[in-house]
Amino acid sequence: MESDRLSQEEIKGLIKKAIEARRKSYSPYSHYQVGAALLTADGQIITGCNIENAAYGPSNCAERTAFFKAVSEGICDFSAIAIVGSPEGEELTQYAYPCGVCRQVMREFCEPSQFQIIVAKAEDDYRVMTLAELLPESFGPENLREE
């Protein structure tokens, strides 16, 4: 199945929200700030930032913050996520790809060939991939069903 491609304007809008969310990053230990903007199937945008913890282990990535906010409000259908991450400061110096744990959380709720992941350094400097490209041959909810 072909995934519905987002327009350039939609992508820019998502990146802008991810950049705003990154300003809320609570990252006093790594000083690495991440923001994410998750686009729901019905067009809402739900943001998240990374939230660290003095005990390190309980820290949460920006992508999972956005997913868990959405799912905890009953929203479970998603089209895309924009992610921006770089060391502390306004400047985005790298494309921040989602970590393995976040990719697996995406896999729980998203169709791998459809869900689009945008990593950006600016509103007009980004890469778009599908979850299937970033998490090939994956394990998901349907593996647990007898069919």
Contact positions toward ligand THU, by CB under 6 A? 27, 30, 32, 34, 50, 52, 59, 61-63, 98-99, 102
The tally of CA atoms less than 13 A away on the side-chain side of residue 136 is 2
Catalytic residue among 2, 63, 73, 90: 63
* Beta carbon nearer to ligand THU, 33 or 79: 33
Minimum separation from the CB atom of position 34 to ligand THU (A): 3
Phi/psi for 118 (5° steps) reads -110, 125
Minimum separation from the CB atom of position 145 to ligand THU (A): 28
Q: Following DSSP, what letter does each residue of 66-113 receive, concatenated?
A: HHHHHHHTT---EEEEEEEEEESSS---S--PPPHHHHHHHHHHS-TT
Q: Is 90 a catalytic residue?
A: no
Minimum separation from the CB atom of position 82 to ligand THU (A): 13
